[in-house]
Amino acid sequence: MKKLCGALCALFLLLSGCGGPVSDSTDFFAMDTFMTLTAWGDNQDDAHAVVSEAEQEINRLSNALSRQVEASSLAELNAANGEIVTLDPDTYAALSRAVEYAEQTGGAFDPTTAPLSDLWGIGTDAAAVPDEAAIAQALTHVGYQNIELLDNNQARLLNGAQVDLGGIGKGYATDVVASLREDEPLLAQLGGNIGAYGENPSSKDGLWTVGLADPDDSANYIATLHIQDASIVTSGDYERYFEQNGVRYHHIFDPSTGYPAQTGLRAVTVVDKESTRADAYTTALFVMGLDKGLAFCEEHDVQAVFVTQDHKIYVTGGLQITLADGVDYELAS
């Protein structure tokens, strides 16, 4: 099995080398993950200008889309007790997209699962399985229908709902970064979100080769995809989790049960022109499970890869995938 290169926390990593036109890169931490931006240009100054502007935009969005930043309009919305709040334009735009995808997926993706995240504490030292009463109480505040979008970037929350845009924040930022480029290549690696735009200067066919992480060992990859002018996003049960009494509890919640989704999947990857949409779809498809997820992909023309607990890989939407050498996964039809 092949190893993923570098020290990134991303689920996917660029496997092609660098070369060709002049490039400039920046590494930084934002949105609770490690990020790398690489741009190419006719000269160093042009490439540097792109990555510099992109990094500034991501840092700005990291504040605008975070409920943990007390000064953000999203935090203000969550603390408003149902009062109308005027949101930052990007916050409103991201929230609107989140509601759109929640409606489209029948609530499999839901931006109001913040009470569940807080209750379970996954990713913190306090992670533990809550009692049934606490879960039931948290669920009374969950439901995207509790988000009321108004004109002029205004919104309010009903029934004690709390919004968390972490499910699409990196996707939204990836799309913003993509909008900054002109014709030159740009590679944005924002944690588990990768955007690859323009022609890969190191590839004869101009495509970018991206590895799909092994859910059992994320330092390895089990297959590769080739993309251009698109984003790859994945959601998996191995990203953030804890174990209690021999059971793994991960961070992808089923909004209908209040528990981490148990659908027989280890990971779902979506390839899409829009990273925001791909971000929402990976969560939704994971919650739906294989059969419903495949049906959704067919109905909505979604390009996706499903990795199951029994080491099978299902590919839909016309994607071309190549298994890595020595993996114990098999392509299923």
Per-residue pLDDT of the chain (333 residues; tens, 9 = 90+): 554 433 223 333 444 444 458 999 999 999 999 999 999 998 999 999 999 999 999 999 999 999 999 999 999 999 999 999 999 999 999 999 999 999 999 999 999 999 999 999 998 999 999 999 999 999 999 999 999 999 999 999 999 999 999 999 999 999 999 999 888 999 999 988 999 999 999 889 999 999 999 999 888 999 999 999 999 999 999 988 999 999 999 999 999 999 999 999 999 999 999 999 999 999 999 999 999 999 999 999 999 999 999 999 999 978 889 999 989 999 997
What pLDDT is recorded for position 165?
A: 97
What pLDDT is recorded for position 14?
A: 45
What pLDDT is recorded for position 67?
A: 95
Task: Decide if 49 contacts 55 (C-beta within 8 A).
Answer: no
To 10 degrees, what angle do helices 169-180 and 89-104 make? 120
Q: Is 262 left (phi over 0), alpha (psi -120 to 50) or beta?
A: beta
| Helix/strand/coil for 71 | coil
What pLDDT is recorded for position 185?
A: 95
Tokens of 65: 């889309």
Tokens of 160: 């004690």
Task: Decide if 254 contacts 261 (C-beta within 8 A).
Answer: yes
What pLDDT is recorded for position 20?
A: 55
Distances (CA, A) of 247 to 186, 251, 293: 41, 13, 24
Tokens of 128: 């533990």
What pLDDT is recorded for position 218?
A: 82
Task: Decide if 146 contacts 112 (C-beta within 8 A).
Answer: yes
The letter for the amino acid at 204 is K
Return the half-sphere exposure (C-beta side, CA atoms, 13 A cut-off) of residue 132.
0
Strands (E) located in 94-246: 147-149, 154-157, 186-190, 193-197, 208-214, 217-227, 230-236, 241-244
| CA 83 centroid distance within chain | 30
Closest CA to 49 of 163, 182, 161, 151: 182
